[in-house]
Amino acid sequence: KRSDAVALALPHEPAIAWTAALLELGTARILDLSDARRRDPAVHYGLPELTGAPAADQRIVANPGCYPTATLLALRPLLDAALIAAESIAVLGTSGASGAGKGLADRLHFCNLAGNSFPYKVGEHRHVPEIEHHLGAPISFVTQLLPIVRGMLVTAFVRPLAGVSPADLLAALRSRYADHPWVTVLDAPDEGLGLGHVVGSHQALLAVGPVARSGLVPVFASIDNLMRGAASQALHNLNLWLGLEPGLGLPPPLAAAPAGVPPAFATALTIHTRAQS
C-alpha cells in the first residue's frame, strides 16, 4: 500500500537504493537519516529552528547529522546577523562513544575508552562538508571521544567583528530562538550547560563565553546526539511535514533554563524518561 511517510535509518548507499525503490512504489514522503542527501539542493534540510517546515509537496527530507545540528544551531544565527568573521571559526566537538557510530573499532572498545579520552578522525570527519555547506563558511573541526555512551558538547571559537561584544552574540541567539522552545540560550556557560541536562531529551542548550585574550569568543552547544542529533529530530521533522503538532511524541521542552551542575548521565536519563511517562 502507498505510505504517507517512511523514515529510513540506513547507511548512505542502502538509503539511496531504498529511497529510489520507495518513490517508485508511490511513497509520498521519505525522511532520510543518512548523510546521502544532506547537501542536495533539491532536498529539504530538516533543522526546524533554522530551515522551518518542509513544503507539503516535498518528497524527501534529509535529517541533519548530530555534530552539524549542534554546530549550526550555535553559529548560523551569528553568521546570518554578520556578527562574526566567517574565515576564523574553530570547533571542538566532544561526544560519547555513540557519536562515533556503532561500527567495530579499537577506539570504541570498552578497555580502550573507559577512563580515557582522545581525538579521532582529525582532518577527515565526515560531518565537516555538511557543516560548511549549511554554515556557508569554512571551519577547523576536531572531535574528541569521551568515556560515556551519549551526549555531545560543541565549543566553537569565533572572532567577533569590530564593535561586536559577547553580549551582542548572546542577544542574537536569544532573538533567533525566542519562539523555539526546544532551544534554550543560557546566561553563561557555567550556569546549566552540560550533558546531564540534555541526555534523553530533544533540548539544545546554547551559551556564549567572554572574550579571551586572543580576541576569540567561545560559543557552546549541548545536545543528546541520539535524540536531537537523530531520532527526536526526525520525529520533529515528520510532525511538521505531516501538519501535526510539532511536539507530538517528543519529550516536553524545558520549562525553565537549567541551573547549577548537571546531573550525572545515568541520573539525567532516568529523570528525562520519567518526565515522558
Q: What pLDDT, on a 0 to 100 scale, did the predictor assign at position 160?
A: 97
Residue 62 φ/ψ, nearest 5 degrees:
-95, 120
Average pLDDT of the segment spanning 157-173: 97
Q: What pLDDT, on a 0 to 100 scale, did the predictor assign at position 276?
A: 53
In sequence order, the β-bridge partners of residue 144 are: 94, 119
Average pLDDT of the segment spanning 247-271: 77
Residue 138 φ/ψ, nearest 5 degrees:
-75, 150
Local confidence band at 139 (pLDDT 50, 70, 90 cut-offs)? very high
Half-sphere exposure of 88 (CA within 13 A, CB side): 13
Mean confidence (pLDDT) of the chain: 91
Local confidence band at 201 (pLDDT 50, 70, 90 cut-offs)? very high
Question: pTM for this one?
Answer: 0.92
Identity at 48, one-letter amino acid code = P
Domains of the chain and any CATH numbers? 6-64+229-241 (no CATH), 66-225+259-276 (3.30.360.10)
Check if 66 is active-site: yes
Of 8, 31, 36, 66, catalytic: 66
pLDDT digits (tens, 9 = 90+) for 207-222: 999 987 889 999 999 9
